[in-house]
Amino acid sequence: MVEFRLSAEHRGFVDWARAAATERLAPLARHDGRVNRPLLRAMGDAGLVRAAFGGTGDQPRDAAALQLCLLRETLAQVSAEAETALALQGLGSYPILQSGRPECAARWIPRVVSGEAVAAFALSEPDAGSDAAALKLRAERDGPGWRLTGEKMWISNAPDADVYSVFARTTPDARAKGVTAFAVPGDAAGLSGEPLDMLSPHPIGRLVFDGVCVGPEALLGEVDGGFAVAMRTLDLFRPSVGAFAVGMAQSALDATVAYVRTREVHGGPLARQQAVAHRVADLATELEAARLLVYAAAAAYDAGDQPRDQRRRSAMAKLFATEAAQRIVDGCVQLHGAVALRGGHLLEQLYRDVRSLRIYEGASEIQRTIIARDLIDLDANG
């Protein structure tokens, strides 16, 4: 593959996103673990949610993966909370944009893009996380619509979202072939939930569906075709999780370079210690490798590569970038010493924030399984 270079248009987009995030979003961050509606409205006013879908005009279009990655990486360097808020809006509403009935998309997408409505992606359950095809939330026929009964767990933006992209079991014992996707309003009768406390404050919770009724207009895609809706969404967003990791790692490295230049040790800056200088070089090299892997996966998606190749590249990008970010942030904490462990320090916040990236949207172990399954191709070779 030839050397990857961002175009002038891409660089201009990054500059615009950084300015918007710095001036309009960072001052609204509060890190209290609940949905930040003023932040989302500011994000909508700035056009950042529309940009996450690849759009630049009044309406979003189907998402461009590289633009999404650049946006998430840039926002992560300014505010992890703003980045997460934008990513959750995209993840929660993309199934509606890509597979919703026209009336459903018209109801929700403009409100999500403007920051008026909060979206959420409701796939995981207490016993169906990495094995998402094992989900048990039931969707039973009820006249022209369905009645949903069961529970969802680890759902970002729950229980405060205005609309959930929900994946439910419509055909028993059929695993992935018996799952259907629905757009469920957050105020639907019978829907309740509670927030969960996490290591790093994050808007996440549990949902309970007690006979929640949805009509035929809520269907996303086809009956029993919901797993494909979920996978298309994750295939797009998986490399952008890597971009989030790259952005956090870049923020940590920038702070560390500034610190070792000015921290005086043994009569000179810490950076003059060869062990420190070489450690910084290693961290920077690993970061650049992660960034290029993410960009390559996104570019392959945008170029329309075969779905199987896209999935492998996305898994590689997500795996490498999130694991690398964990090591980079840890290394930056080490170079800072005890000061980085104080509450409120940038590195202390990043150290807690970065950990979840190796778990959500497919844990590292699942990414390795996806990669190995494609490379070894057991179905073809026995």
Catalytic residues: 361
CA distance 346 to 307: 38
Q: Which helix or strand (DSSP H or E) is residue 31 part of?
A: none
The strand ranges marked E within the chain are: 119-122, 138-142, 145-156, 163-169, 179-185, 191-195, 204-214, 219-220, 264-265, 268-269
Query: Concatenated DSSP letters for 120-160?
Result: EEE--BTTBSS-GGG---EEEEETTEEEEEEEEEEEETTTT
Among positive and negative, which fits the CA dihedral 341, 331, 366, 203?
positive
Quick check: 166 and 124 in contact, CB under 8 A? Answer: no
Quick check: 134 and 179 in contact, CB under 8 A? Answer: no
CA distance 300 to 314: 9
CA distances in angstroms from 148 to 168, 177, 204, 223, listed in the order given: 8, 18, 21, 14
CA distance 191 to 3: 50
For 173, counting Cβ atoms within 10 Å of its Cβ (0-12 exposed, 13-18 middle, 19+ buried), the class is: exposed
Q: Longest C-alpha distance within the chain, in Å? A: 80
User: Distance from first CA to last CA of the chain, Å, rounded?
Assistant: 31
